[in-house]
Amino acid sequence: MSKFTPADLEKMSKVSCDKPKDWIKVGMSSCGIAAGADEVFNFFVEEVKKRNLHIEIKKCGCTGMCYAEPLVEVSVEGLPSVIYGAVNKDVATKILEKHVISKMLVNDCIFEVLS
């Protein structure tokens, strides 16, 4: 792998890490994993493949709302970016069917709205 030069860093910092694209982030720190986040993560990866959806599934750290783990942040064009809490397979299915496909927020599971 190549070594970075100062100019490389400058250039790379201009690229936003959240490209204006649809994505789902699953909080995968100890607290999330203890609450079952890796199962949810794998479930998302499989379902997205099965249903042939164009959405990226990513891992991230802990946002701090430990009472509501596993936390899943969803960003879909045209909807506010939200964090779903206490996500299990049922909620994950709803997120894909309602939020991602029908572009509607899912009832009773949102813990924070980011934008």
Query: Which residues sit at the interface with another protein, rule CB under 8 A?
Result: 1-6, 9-10, 12-13, 15-18, 25, 27, 29-31, 33, 58-68, 71, 73, 78-80, 85-86, 103-113, 115
CB of 48 to another protein, least distance (A): 17
Name which of 48 and 110 has its Cβ closer to another protein.
Answer: 110
Could you give phi then psi for residue 79, rounded to 5 degrees? -125, 150
Cβ(85)–Cβ(63) under 8 Å? no
CB of 60 to another protein, least distance (A): 5
CA dist 73 and 112 (Å) reads 9
Choice between 47 and 109, CB closer to another protein: 109
CB of 50 to another protein, least distance (A): 23
Residues 74, 84: Cα–Cα separation, whole Å: 8
Nearer to another protein, 13 or 50 (CB): 13
Is the CB of residue 43 less than 8 Å from the CB of residue 91? no
Comparing CA positions, the residue from 83, 11, 69 lying closest to residue 39 is 69
Q: Which is nearer to another protein, 1 or 50 (CB)?
A: 1
